[in-house]
Structure 1
Amino acid sequence: MSELTHINASGEANMVDVSDKAVTSREARAEAWVLMTPDTLALIVEGRHHKGDVFATARIAGIMAAKKTSDLIPLCHPLALSKVEVKLEADGERGGVRIESYCKLAGQTGVEMEALTAASVAALTIYDMCKAVQKDMLIDGVRLLEKRGGKSGEFKAK
């Protein structure tokens, strides 16, 4: 197992110094699922939800969350993101909504946490908007799909 980078020699949490790292293009994709009944999914897809467009609201929430990641995760660096994208897709076979986020920048540290935060907050927003209809929805499968750039190179989930 590799060394934990956010722990100093004394065992204390600290923010990693990235000042000597090269500025490179960095990208990350993440996903999350919100599993629900067919009736709840139909309400969203057919645009019959009384609170409005669930997908549009979740998309904006995910984008906003990516930009606020360093405010939410204590040791994350504030980043000047150049691109944030949140895609939502209804999946009747699995019974829910698949969320995929994408973040990109030219910087000294990766954007994995921003992509994961975007997908997570989009999922939470769907839950929030639909909880009056179904309280037992399940947020599931939040994970990093891939990342590119930086010293550790490429990663792609299996």
Structure 2
Amino acid sequence: MSEITVRNAHLSDLPALLAIYNHVVRTSAATFDLEEQTLEQREKWFHKFTGRYPLIVAEQDGAVIGYATISMFREKQAYQQTGESSIYIHHEHHGKGLGKLLMNELIALARENDFHVLIAGITQGNDASVQLHKRLGFEWAGTFREVGYKFDQFQDVSFYQLILK
């Protein structure tokens, strides 16, 4: 297997990011989007990641195989030292350590960008994501019960946090 590189996302990565995300929309409760996104919708989303809010990708052999972001947790100014992390891996690359690689880079970027806390919201049943976050030092902060409805059932979301400093 060739080397995996992590870098900032480019607009030209958008079709690959869209394909990864839409697969998750169709097959998983990891996102609460119920309909696949269009390229236009994802382009608007892409432009939210500027300044201290990174969007990074993992690339192998010229193909984007995963990505991770830090987004605004809430809009009020008192939350500006808290970011929310998201990570999506191409379904053919699960279980290969890619999540850990991306999350370690995201944590380093959070520290560089002076965040105090990273939050991760993880839908119940996504045990691989829970274990990844726990291994990286995230602690369970609480569970919101039945806050999403997807695949004909209510979904719980557990929140994990990592205090960075």
* TM exceeding 0.5: no
Under a length normalisation based on structure 2, what TM-score does the superposition of the two structures give?
Answer: 0.32
Return the index of the structure with the highest Cα Rg.
1
Higher helix share: 2
Under a length normalisation based on structure 1, what TM-score does the superposition of the two structures give?
Answer: 0.33
- Choose between structure 1 and 2 for higher RCO, CA contacts under 8 A separated by at least 6 residues: 1
